[in-house]
Chain A
Amino acid sequence: MNLQVVYCNHQSANLSIRERLAFAGDKLEAAYRELASRFRSSEFVVLSTCNRVEVYSAQESPDAAPTRKQIAEFVSEFHHLPLEDFSDELLAETGPDAVRHLFRVASSLDSMVLGEPQIVNQVKEAYRVAQDHNACGPLTHAMFQGAIRVSARVRSETRLAEGRVSIASVAVSDFGRGIFDRFDDKHVLILGAGEMAEETLRYLCEEGVRQVTVVNRSLANAEKLAAQFTSVGARPRSWDALDEELALADMIVSTTGATEPIVDVNRFREVRRRSGEKPVFILDLGAPRDFAPAIANLDDNVFLYDIDALEATCEQNRKSRYREIEKAQLIIDEEAERFMQDVYHMATGPIVKRLREQWHDVSRDELARLRLKLSHLSATDLESVERAVERIVNKLLHPPLEALRHEAKEGTPHGLIDALKRLFHLRD
């Protein structure tokens, strides 16, 4: 039994590394194909978001488990990146620690913004995609279903999900409010039409935004998103109108999944020439980034924030809710322990089943023989004898099964399983 996660996140690697390691769009499909060809007996789930790139693996036999080094080599070769460029930033957890890590991630304890609801959807989506690619197995099913359940429990039993719980809310309240007095007279431009864009737009509407434009490569998706926010006059625009909208905007929130920056310095310089040096607040939530970092230096009134620029603010948000973190951590530890016991117990399942079957088979054979010899017994007497024998078998089975269950709390009881196999001639 082997569970492992090899990962980098916003704490271990900066955005420039994460964006190069991301499995965005079509890359994910290719990644699953490659993993399946390299590690045939392993189960995999790949989780790739703007804050993390994580490869979960699981297999029954520890011998077949891919090592951290093998996963790192796979990532390196897949992205055509030298291993030494990111090797130090790549972390790994195994066994209970891997489970605890996944539970923390799904419960948003590992997120930049504590309590953000988006991560659990990203975990669900990663799990669904892995299933679509037939990369899941019993262990990853149990792990990810457990993670989703734990996330719900943390959400309902703690107050982590209250207050500022999205990156956009943290960024706007700390930086946006430092630039602008009010938002109702500001032009807001949303680039992208995914879940992040929707969530950001919802928050901005609560902040009083009244002029919103959604620009997306797919106009249909932009129209779909804008239709949800007609109350604030959200209007969709085609990708061709991007420069025009950039010049008009006071606040730009970019959430596209583009693999290259969509706005470089020269393009934005031209935009500034048209818009004048009015203050512009750019929130680049893309990973890889949508705006070239050098745009921040174009003039005094360009305020550009990418995911990493929000780290300090998010840390402050985290510190203010440390009590809830402690509560959530207790839930996660408890659930992780229970999960591991279940997993270990699951490993003893086949042997328990075989032992029960074998002993009951013996008792059934002996009872059949007894029935032939003692034909004068009435049906009631025979039934009483059968019940007595069954009770004897169960009582005899209890001590070894209890010992097995007890041992399984600490890990897979390989020694005891082998002993039972040898003592009672059990075969795989």
Chain B
Amino acid sequence: MPIEFFAKVSVFCFLASYLVALGVDAARLLKRLPVARWIGLAFGVAGFAAQTGYLLIRGRQENLPPLLSSPHDWLLVLAWIVVLLYLFLTAVDRELAVGLFLLPIVLLFVGASYLVSKQPNPLIAGNLGLVKLHASLLVVGIAGVVVGVTLSLMYVVQHRRLKQHHASQPGVLLPSLARLARWNWWAVVVSVPVLTLGLGSGVALGLTSKEAGAVLSFSDPIVLGHGVVWVAMMSLFVWLLTTRRSTGKQVAALTLWAGGFLLVILVGLQVLSLTSFHSGAKTSLRTRDCKLKIESTGSQHARLCGSVCKLQSTPCRLDLEERHA
């Protein structure tokens, strides 16, 4: 299938698909319909295909991998990973009610992507390799936290059911508490070091960018927010590794708090923080740096600088078309 097939796909297309898939999964709570699982899965797959095409088109337009092209695309990549996980789990276990837990998070990410910038971040020009590492580690780490939050949520629901003696719903079963607790432990223990590496690479990126003349501040709200979240996640990580008599419910509650905090900070700051250098082209990068960037990175970043200058309503000192002709 040619990629141009997806040229007209909008965010709304796959947002609507996921919404329907969630609705169908929720309907299984009311009545057991074997066909509902397949309908939900079909909408999930359709949304996933549309989202994949959309991200590929976006990457081609920006001439950058979707992970790096903008905060909008970065959030969609994160959602894409979670959808992939949802599809895999739904396909392998017909009784597992994973969509009810994962799809709301997908909708949160896709919905938030509407509100963040679609403009590429000019800072990626400085050190593309390190930026890739930074973004990849953060995405993987955050996906791990999403998994931890989902498992914790499942734990809480399953625990509540067992304590209140409710019969399990046929067709929407949850794993045992023992398995959920074990998986949750691993999700936190794996994702926190990855997040740490992601933040570390971000710090390194900041330092190298400063050397290159870009004005980056560690007091940037997103950097600060992620720092606070990292402290929370690291505290949970240390507690998990050092506490011997923790109960599954304690782990689930703490993961929910820390992971939920991370998701709120992640999405909230991306949406609200208009002056952060993480928020795409609406950056604090000054126009006088345009020349340096363009000279050092070639044509794709010439376009980036052009976007920056346009957004900031300041005339660029360079004649871009002329330089890259």
Contact = CB atoms under 8 A, between A and B. Distances in A.
Interface of A: 174-175, 177-181, 276-277, 279, 296, 299-301, 303, 305, 309-310, 312-313, 315-316, 320
A179 B178 contact: yes
Given A276-B245, A277-B245, A301-B247, A178 B176 contact: yes
A300 B162 contact: no
Nearest to A277: B247
A313 B161 CA distance: 12
A99 to B, nearest CB: 33
Contacts of B162: 175, 178-179, 303
A174 B173 CA distance: 10
Q: Which of A303, A305, A320 has the most CB of B within 10 A?
A: A303
Interface stretch (B122-130, B164-172, B308-316): B164-172
Contact of A309 (B159, B165, B247, B249): B165
16 contacts: A177-B176, A178-B161, A178-B168, A179-B162, A179-B178, A181-B179, A277-B245, A277-B247, A296-B163, A300-B159, A300-B247, A301-B247, A303-B163, A309-B165, A312-B165, A315-B167
A312 B167 CA distance: 6
Given A276-B245, A301-B247, A180 B176 contact: yes
Given A178-B174, A300-B247, A305 B179 contact: no
A7 B159 CA distance: 36
B121 interface: no
Contacts of A177: 176
A79 to B, nearest CB: 28
Nearest to A315: B167
Interface in B101-119: none
A181 B175 CA distance: 8
The 7 closest A-B pairs by CB, nearest first: A309-B165, A313-B167, A312-B167, A181-B178, A300-B249, A316-B167, A181-B176
Nearest to A300: B249
A312 B166 contact: yes
Given A301-B247, A312-B167, A316-B167, 17 more contacts: A177-B176, A178-B158, A178-B162, A178-B168, A178-B177, A179-B162, A179-B177, A179-B178, A180-B176, A180-B177, A180-B178, A181-B179, A276-B245, A277-B245, A296-B163, A300-B159, A316-B170
A179 to B, nearest CB: 5
B168 A174 contact: yes
Contacts of B248: 279, 301
Contacts of B163: 296, 300, 303
Nearest to A305: B165
A305 B161 CA distance: 12
Nearest to B170: A316
A23 B253 CA distance: 46
A180 B167 CA distance: 16
A362 to B, nearest CB: 71
Contacts of A277: 245, 247
A299 B174 CA distance: 22
A179 B178 CA distance: 6
Contacts of B165: 175, 305, 309-310, 312
Q: Which of A277, A279, A313, A320 has the most CB of B within 10 A?
A: A279
Contacts of A279: 177-178, 248
B237 to A, nearest CB: 22
Contacts of B170: 316, 320
Nearest to B163: A303
Contacts of A312: 165-167
Contacts of B174: 178
A11 B167 CA distance: 17
A175 B159 CA distance: 10
A316 B159 CA distance: 20
A174 B177 contact: no
A188 to B, nearest CB: 16
A178 B247 CA distance: 16
Nearest to A175: B162
Contacts of B175: 181
B136 to A, nearest CB: 33
A283 to B, nearest CB: 12
A299 B177 CA distance: 15
B46 to A, nearest CB: 32
A301 B252 CA distance: 13
Contacts of B166: 312
A298 to B, nearest CB: 12
Contacts of A181: 175-176, 178-179
Contacts of A301: 247-249
Q: Which of B167, B168, B179 has the most CB of A within 10 A?
A: B167
